[in-house]
Structure 1
Amino acid sequence: MPAGQALQEWKNHWPLALAAAFGMTLSMLHVYSLGAFMAPMEEELKWSRAAIAGGLTISSLVGALLSPFMGILIDRLGCRRVALPGAALFLLSTCLLTFTTRSVWSWWGIWFLVSLTLSLVRPAVWTKAVSAVFHRGRGLALAAALSGTSIASLLGPVAATYLIEALGWRMAYVALALLWASFVLPMLYFFFDRADHKAGRDVASAPISKGYSLREALASSHFYRLGFATIVIAVVVIGMTVHLIPLLTGKDMPKGEAAVIAGSVGVVSLIGRFATGAMLDRWNGPLIGAFSAVLPAMAALILLLCEATPLNAILAVCLLGFSLGAELDVIAYFTTRYFGLKNFGAIYGSIASLLAIGTGLGPLLAGLCFDMTGKYDFALMCVPVLCVVTAIMLGTLGPYPDFDREKATETP
């Protein structure tokens, strides 16, 4: 029966999962495309790469601050009323980056506007809509929705690189926004409408979930272990991914070849996302989390110690991409397992704020390392240490709580 119910959910709501995946590409497009813009912007504007990556830092800090308020807005207005105008405003604000002047403050100021609109299309709006209508098949549906980040990491660097070569970096931002608008906005308009309406009915009829309150979660060591792992993995994985193209070209790899190899992160992360979800359902979760945390360390060692041949670069990208795909799945899965679903939004929102901070710090720290030393070696040397500590944190989380037993114990 559960398998039949899951199949029925997919039959009824697959357009929502597909639309959510397209919407998810918006939440990470700015991250994965920025690496292609760094070299031409550095050449024209004479800015440091840390200053350029500072746009992501602003985006992440604004996202971290606004995440709780966006959750309230989504709860009150519904997913469609937030997602549709949010997507249009985000793409419009992305076009404004073409007006960047030689003052770095103009770049950061426009990024602040981009960050405000980006808060409307972050993962919460897509995962909430999917979770509302998928119950038996929720894990796979969330993996499908979150696969939008993999699509962005696959298409973003390649599209940005070719648009920059054809139009220059300024008009490339406009073209990139128009390209994304041409397929994302129709998908949201035609498919997110019906899905959001049904989501409201399903939420109203859903049973009350078990789990911790936000206060109980904050008193748990699991929250801080998971929070530490979240911010470290984000710093390492996003930092390496954003700087992957300049890192490879700095080792004398042709720009086009580097862009294609970097773009393959998306394919591997897609595989990693679904594979990790399947493994978490079947095997020991903490060990799977620890395994995924070690992969970026292996990628960093290859990039640091081995010659920058296409084969070595592909191997490093495969390891990095698999970890990138596993990241969001592991965080969301552990949040549901260790804290339950009763207050999932509040608890996951708090952890997602740390994810946003790490997403902004990673590219900034890698850029600072390059600006100070002229290469990325020191940053790559730090990655294995951070990953090993993170793996220990995740691997020792222990068994999942039994909320039914805790409920029975509390009952007089």
Structure 2
Amino acid sequence: MTPHPDAAADTSQLRLIAQEWRRAWRPGVAALFAGSLGYSLYSAVSSLFVEPLQQQFGWSRGDIALVHSFGLVIAFIAPVIGRMTDRYGVRPILSAGLLLTAIGYGLLASMGGSLGYFYVVHFAFALVGMATTGITVTRILSGAFERTRGTALAIGRSGLAVAGALMPMALYPVILRFGSAGGYLLLAAFILLIALPLIWFWVPSRAAEQRSGRIALPSADSARALLANGKVRILIAASVLNYVPVVALLSQMKPLAVEKGLDTVAAVGAVSVMGAAAAMGALLSGLLVDRFWAPAVAFVLNLAPAIGCALLLQHDVPPALFYGAVLMIGLGQGAEIDIVAFMIARYFGLRSYATIYSLSTLGIALGVAVGASLIGMAYDHFGNYDVALLACSGSFFLAALFYLMMGRYPAGGQPD
């Protein structure tokens, strides 16, 4: 009996997908670990260092949170990293970024009580850490995968979320025993022993990419030309409004939980819950955008954290309710990068993908510089986090509306 044409086509498609994963799993795994253990992980665990630094050196939470304002300057390195990656290949840029990030952790571990030293080292640490973010990591995944690019991006993003969920459980006992220095050195060790070797040995060099025929796309449009496109501006604004409140809340999650009535152990658990929720959000968004209109998915996954922030406005929040609210916030964190990466390709094609992504990164970094600094200052001024929670809720809601403003997909499929 002759096989049905549709069944034959499905079989052929599955065969091509299997071939792609057999070819690309090594760079995919390398990207997964590099993205999970690089500089982006620090945002997920930085709140664990707030109280130890206060106790060790007598700094206020506002003093510590001020380092996030450095992003106002550091943000402008994002387009430079993108251009360097396009020119020299991802392996040398990401490898150098990972090595320098590990060195930065080492310098933070060796500091005394000088707040000036902390600021200088943290500035350099954040500067080199930009080379280990989605600018380079998603470039690996987008280059290695084509037919299953959305799934690969979702899995890659979920790795950071899983690391954000598991790392507090490893870090907290080390910080208790060895102080903040022990925590910084542990983070450096993960980079040097796992992420860096995988990138160096499993990610192809620029020459190898050229020999295999997987060469760079035609030159991207200039940043000025892209910013003249209204939908590019809308997508960048949505990504900023989505991501900034997440980073701000993560940077103060443990002390926020304590201020709302949780004990220390439960507060550390809240950091892990947010990481687990982010992993769920990353996988969920990756699956949904392949089946439904991406702006609608983004709307729902931003409305949930807007409600979650509102639930935390009461005092003495029961642990179950606090964890539920954090779960809703974490879903928004996990969805942002996958949805933005998907929407860049779906609305604008791949020709200017890296340029648009770096502009989004620039906007996010500028926003984080303001938001993550203000949340600590808001606590110092008001004595609680309620004003910050209201601002975060409003930001998530605006992001949900901005995503809807992207409108229909371009007619005739993805643009070239």
TM over 0.5: yes
* Residue 132 (structure 1) aligned with residue 149 (structure 2): no
Equivalent of residue 154 in structure 1, options 160, 165, 174: 165
Bigger mean CA offset, 2-11 vs 341-350 = 2-11
**Which string of whole-angstrom CA distances, capped at 9 and with x for unpartnered residues, describes residues 381-403 of structure 1?**
22232222222221232102236
Query: What number of residue pairs does the alignment pair up?
Result: 404
Asked if 1:191 is matched to 2:206, the reply is no
Q: Which residue of 1 aligns with 2:59?
A: 47
Picking from 335, 356, 367, the partner of 1:326 is 335
381-390 or 341-350: bigger deviation: 381-390
1:9 corresponding residue in structure 2: 20
Separation in 2, partners of 1:44, 1:93: 19
Q: What letter is aligned with 1:67?
A: A
Preserved CA contact (<8 Å) 1:15 1:195: no
- CA-CA distance at 1:43 after TM superposition: 2.6
TM-aligned CA deviation for residue 35 of structure 1: 0.1
Measured after TM superposition, the shift of residue 195 of structure 1 is: 7.5
Please name the residue that 1:308 is paired with.
317
**Residue of structure 2 in register with 1:410 after alignment:** none
Whole-Å Cα distance in 1 between the matches of residues 349 and 221 of structure 2?
A: 6
Selected match of 1:371 from 359, 365, 380: 380
Once residues 179 and 226 of structure 2 are traced to their aligned partners in structure 1, the CA distance between those partners, rounded to angstroms, is 49
Query: C-alpha offsets along residues 118-156 of structure 1, whole Å, 9 cap, x if unaligned?
Result: 122121211112211211111111122222321332133
- State the distance in 2 between where 1:327 and 1:280 align: 12
In the aligned structure 1, how far is the partner of 2:209 from the partner of 2:329? 35
1:146-225 matched pairs, under 5 angstroms: 146-192=157-203, 194=204, 199-201=209-211, 204=214, 214-225=223-234
Match of 2:39 in 1: 27
Are residues 1:36 and 2:45 paired? no
Q: Do the aligned residues in 2 keep the contact of 1:306 with 1:312 (CA within 8 Å)?
A: no
Q: CA deviation at 1:404?
A: 6.8
1:141 paired with 2:161, answer no
CA distance in 2, matches of 1:137, 1:405: 15
AA partner of residue 33 (structure 1): V
Relative to structure 1, the CA distance from residue 200 to residue 256 in structure 2 (aligned partners, 3 Å threshold; closer, same or farther) is farther
CA distance in 2 between partners of 1:135 and 1:160 (Å): 36
Query: Shift of residue 282 of structure 1?
Result: 0.9
Structure 2, unmatched stretches of 5+, are 1-11
Secondary structure of 1:264's match?
Answer: helix
In structure 2, give the amino acid aligned to 1:144: I
1:275 CA displacement: 1.0
Residues 63 and 10 (structure 1), Cα distance of their counterparts in 2 relative to 1, 3 Å cut: farther
Give the TM-score, by structure 1 length: 0.90
Question: Aligned equivalents of 1:212 and 1:206: distance in 2?
Answer: 14
Cα separation, partners in 2 of 1:377 and 1:238, compared to 1, 3 Å: same
- Could you give the per-residue CA deviations for residues 191-236 of structure 1, whole angstroms, max 9, x where no partner exists? 23x4866544456468869x97655532222122222212222221
**Matched ranges for 1:280-299 at <5 A:** 280-299=289-308
Cα distance change, pair 398–74 in 1 and its aligned pair in 2 (3 A)? same
- 2:40 is matched by which residue type in structure 1? M
Query: Whole-Å Cα distance in 2 between the matches of residues 278 and 374 of structure 1?
Result: 41
Question: What SS does the aligned partner of 2:312 have?
Answer: helix
| 1:61 maps to 2:77 | no
Contact 2:281/2:330 (CA < 8 Å) preserved in 1? yes
- Residue pairs, 1:251-262, within 5 angstroms: 251-262=260-271
CA contact (8 A) 1:268 1:321 kept: yes
Q: Please give the per-residue CA displacement for 1:155-212, whole angstroms capped at 9, x wherever unaligned.
A: 33333322110111133212332244332233333323x4866544456468869x97
Structure 1 CA distance for aligned equivalents of residues 252 and 217 of structure 2: 45
Percent identity, aligned pairs only? 27
Deviates more, 1:119-128 or 1:197-206: 197-206
> Is the 8 Å Cα contact of residues 242 and 336 (structure 2) preserved in structure 1?
yes
Q: Deviation per CA, 1:345-384, whole angstroms, max 9, x where unpaired? A: 1122111111222233332121111010111011112223
What pairs with 1:380-391 in structure 2 (closer than 5 Å)? 380-391=389-400
In the alignment, the residues of structure 1 paired with residue 300 and residue 75 of structure 2 have an alpha-carbon distance, to the nearest angstrom, of: 27
CA–CA distance in 1 between the matches of 2:393 and 2:161? 24
Say if 2:104 is the partner of 1:96.
no
- Distance of 2:216 and 2:249 partners within structure 1: 41
Deviations 1:258-277 (A, max 9, x none): 11231122222112111111
Which of the residues 233, 251, 257 maps onto 1:242?
A: 251
In structure 1, what is the Cα distance between the partners aligned to 2:63 and 2:121? 14
Structure 1 regions of 5+ residues with no counterpart? 408-412
